Chains A and B, each alone.
Chain A
């Protein structure tokens, strides 16, 4: 398991995403309302680049004829077939138990000595730490 610096926290504000290559895998890192999440950038359906899809809310389960729009910014829709996935869990909306995409831990770290060498040239402040992906 390795640590991979995705970028500065300030470069990945709420609502933003970044696609990175880590250990041979394409992974999408998302900032959802100030918390970071990471998903494998491969849709479990037909292997489309899932993390390039639109970041949306969703219509919540409701009574017939009723529309409840919620969870803005927490749902990514596959760019091919439009399947909805919860960015915060990697689980699909239509079948969260069986249809899901792999998730990875993301942390924000300010201490440069725990990070790989190549990032030590960056100045580090507590206010604008590094977003680190754990693969």
Chain B
């Protein structure tokens, strides 16, 4: 696919306020996506989510349905009122949910990814974006890395796409070499690579637990399993040595597991470094330059001091970025989800870390 019209978007202006690293928007109808799909994909596409493990209570905040109707996150005015104006958002990092990488047919998955990108660019990143508050993620189908790299090229230089995104659901850990065309394209164009939960064990993807859990509560608690596997893979395969300008955003994958996993990996590395000689320093030492975690859903121990201790252990002041996950059911409120933080740390987590990571004014 090629761009047929010049890109017209809102200007990039500096904005005051917090940066929310996980905001979900939806097309008003499936037809909005279909309109960007060529045949035969237009007929084949019928929307569809991940298929299993629907939330047994509700999947989105009940108060996030737009007053005029339509899916949650489909009305820009209402999203602005309920999120941007309510909490003083400077930027919303938007991650649409295309669920494109569960399809057995890689051409179909790639077409769906491209349609979501065209739709996002035409709506939330331009028509709905007069002030530049919305920053987007380029959806790619990781099952076809060459096509995914082409899709990244197609959007390179767009002023409001700040990262590339995929679901955590995969057939292999993301540090492996078949994915390198994607990382090369990300590095070349200064785009971060975001992983967001979804499609684990769905379609052609492998479930990152021993078999399928029975309940949503198990599945949702285990969202971090895939993230831990992907992170260990990135670090041990030497992806950050091969692509020194490449960075990964771990979105909605959990937070508090990081220190223990890194202690474990660093300890293994002391003994087993010779197996992966390209890992030239302790694996945890790559995090500050190459990895960021978004905060939601933030673990919430009964004693808030324990969370603050974990923040210290994991260098949260430099690698944690606030996210709300609006409008989903487990939304973290910017004013209530965190314990009281030292002012400098609050400023970094709620604003500065993301501005530096995404190069936002």
**Residues of A in contact with B (beta carbons under 8 Å apart):** 45-49, 52-54, 77, 79-82
Note all chain B residues with C-beta closer than 8 A to A53.
Answer: 62
Cβ contact within 8 Å between B332 and A46: yes
Note all chain A residues with C-beta closer than 8 A to B58.
Answer: 54, 77, 79, 82
B36 at the A interface (CB under 8 A): no
Cβ contact within 8 Å between B63 and A46: no
Chosen A-B contacts, 19 in total, with CB atoms closer than 8 Å, are: A46-B331, A46-B332, A47-B333, A48-B63, A48-B333, A49-B63, A52-B62, A52-B63, A54-B62, A77-B57, A77-B58, A79-B58, A79-B62, A79-B63, A80-B61, A80-B63, A80-B329, A82-B55, A82-B58
B184 at the A interface (CB under 8 A): no
Note all chain A residues with C-beta closer than 8 A to B335.
Answer: 47
Note all chain B residues with C-beta closer than 8 A to A80.
Answer: 61-63, 329-331
Note all chain B residues with C-beta closer than 8 A to A82.
Answer: 55, 57-58, 329
Q: A47-B333, A81-B330 are known contacts; what are 20 more A-B pairs with Cβ within 8 Å?
A: A46-B332, A46-B333, A46-B336, A46-B337, A47-B336, A48-B63, A49-B63, A52-B62, A54-B58, A54-B62, A77-B57, A77-B58, A79-B58, A79-B61, A79-B62, A79-B63, A80-B331, A82-B55, A82-B58, A82-B329
Flag B321-332 by CB within 8 Å of A: 1 or 0 each.
000000001111
Most chain A beta carbons < 10 A, residue from B62, B330, B333, B335:
B62
**Residues of B in contact with A (beta carbons under 8 Å apart):** 55, 57-58, 61-63, 329-333, 335-337
| A54 vs chain B, min Cβ distance (A) | 7
Q: Which residue of B lies closest to A49 (CB)?
A: B63
| A65 vs chain B, min Cβ distance (A) | 11
Note all chain A residues with C-beta closer than 8 A to B63.
Answer: 48-49, 52, 79-80
Q: Report how far A46 CA is from B332 CA in the complex, Å.
A: 8
Q: Which residue of A lies closest to B333 (CB)?
A: A46
Q: Report how far A45 CA is from B329 CA in the complex, Å.
A: 13
Q: Report how far A48 CA is from B331 CA in the complex, Å.
A: 10
Q: Which residue of A lies closest to B328 (CB)?
A: A80
| A88 vs chain B, min Cβ distance (A) | 21
| A56 vs chain B, min Cβ distance (A) | 9
Q: Report how far A117 CA is from B331 CA in the complex, Å.
A: 43
